[in-house]
Amino acid sequence: MSRQAMSSWMLRCAELLSPLYQSLKEILLSQAIIHGDETSIKESAASDRV
């Protein structure tokens, strides 16, 4: 699969998911308190990736 095809798919997905992102962001930022999970995880080395 070409990089151009994958890039086009990612851009299209971003466009389609943008309204959902904006709605969730609006709801989140309207809350009095926001909690986040800052648990760290070990990232695998680049050589481990396929």
- Alpha-carbon distance 35 to 47, whole Å? 34
Mind listing the pLDDT tens digit for each residue in 3-50? Answer: 999 999 999 999 999 999 999 999 999 999 999 999 998 888 766 555
Residue 3: φ, ψ to 5°: -65, -35
The answer for residues whose C-beta is within 8 angstroms of residue 28's C-beta and 6 or more apart is 34
CA distance 39 to 35: 12
What is the pLDDT, as a whole number, of residue 48?
59
- The residue with tokens 């990612």 is 10
**In contact, 34 and 28? CB cutoff 8 Å:** yes
Q: pTM of the prediction? A: 0.62
Q: What is the pLDDT of residue 20?
A: 98
